[in-house]
Structure 1
């Protein structure tokens, strides 16, 4: 049974800290880049940020989600956020998402290391059978990043969500299951070895 507790996950490039009030203003400051929100269900920067932040904290308090602030180890600055959600303890499954980073770290070691930390904890500590990822079909960058992790594309949920701007989104579903994790972990570690730690 999945038993999520607030914990810090630490890597070579990033630390993932459970989202807390102390992260609010720094995360607000980096959320203003419009490119972050392009394919997300709503743009929660600016006046809507506090509502987004409080919903994330409430989701954790209610045991529905576990959101993290992503901290750059080189300078201890917040560079984004990610979370566990759709947590189903009885089925030993969860999803990883609500992920965004400042544009400066796109294509760097940040995303693969965040996913390594989250996946490793999900499979090896929490005992997950399945971890899912969902993304907008139009978001080629996100689809490519998830595939590059080694996740299996399971299909498309057609007309799955109505976004804030009225667009009816088709959602791509990916997953990694426990029997695949060992091989995926090895490849992720090898991939991260190609980046230089600053």
Structure 2
């Protein structure tokens, strides 16, 4: 496994979704996917659906790198976003975070397909993947547990320009493989 060859902007294609590098021209499409207040209801940034709040978030994603756009292949539009990044306290690992999907893709297979694409890509290069979740974000904590990740510890980390309290969840490759095997 080699972090040196890992490409966070690789295009990943599944049956219904394509995950690709986020580019500056994606602002309108990503904001359209993020403009529903319900998406952010359980999130610490509850007003991120507003354009004036979303734009600085988008600029941060572009500046930090590793951000991806999630496209619905049939609809031909962006339906969410996510990001690969190196956890500041686990420098030899990779993390997946800053993930959201348009509500039209909730309650179905989209989140699992998205995470399957991203995790399959990450596990080609790393033995574990980290997820950092706000303590108040119960929906994301539950979704991450369904992937086989376990809450390892709490930490105050700077993931996007400001130190924040996070729950740090670890997913080992072997645990992910068990989740996949149980779905077959």
Q: How many residues align?
A: 172
Q: Which SS does the other structure have where 1:143 is aligned?
A: helix
What is the match of residue 29 of structure 2?
A: 26
RMSD of aligned alpha carbons: 2.3
Residues 8-57 of structure 1: per-residue CA shift (max 9 Å, x gap): 10101211011012321111222221122234343333113222222111
Per the TM alignment, residue 170 of structure 1 is displaced from its structure 2 partner at its CA by 5.7
What is the match of residue 166 of structure 1?
A: none
What is the match of residue 118 of structure 1?
A: 118
Q: 1:54 aligns with which of 56, 59, 64?
A: 59
Measure, in 2, the Cα distance between the counterparts of 1:170 and 1:56: 19
What is the match of residue 137 of structure 1?
A: 135
What is the match of residue 106 of structure 2?
A: 106
Gaps of 5+ in 1: 61-65, 162-168, 191-198
1:155–1:92 distance in 2 versus 1, CA, 3 Å: closer
- Normalised by the length of structure 2, the TM-score is 0.81
| Residues 92, 129 of structure 1: 8 Å contact kept | no
Which region of structure 1 is more displaced relative to structure 2, 16-25 or 37-46?
37-46
Alignment of 1:77-88 (within 5 A): 77-86=77-86
- Normalised by the length of structure 1, the TM-score is 0.76
Q: 2:173 aligns with which of 170, 173, 178?
A: 178
Per the TM alignment, residue 149 of structure 1 is displaced from its structure 2 partner at its CA by 1.0
What is the match of residue 195 of structure 1?
A: none
Alignment of 1:139-158 (within 5 A): 139-157=137-155
Q: 1:4 aligns with which of 6, 13, 22?
A: 6
Measure, in 1, the Cα distance between the counterparts of 2:71 and 2:15: 11
Larger radius of gyration: 1
Q: Which SS does the other structure have where 1:84 is aligned?
A: strand
Per the TM alignment, residue 133 of structure 1 is displaced from its structure 2 partner at its CA by 1.0
Measure, in 1, the Cα distance between the counterparts of 2:67 and 2:60: 10
1:116–1:28 distance in 2 versus 1, CA, 3 Å: same
Measure, in 2, the Cα distance between the counterparts of 1:156 and 1:91: 17
Q: Is residue 36 from structure 1 mapped to residue 42 from structure 2 by the alignment? A: no
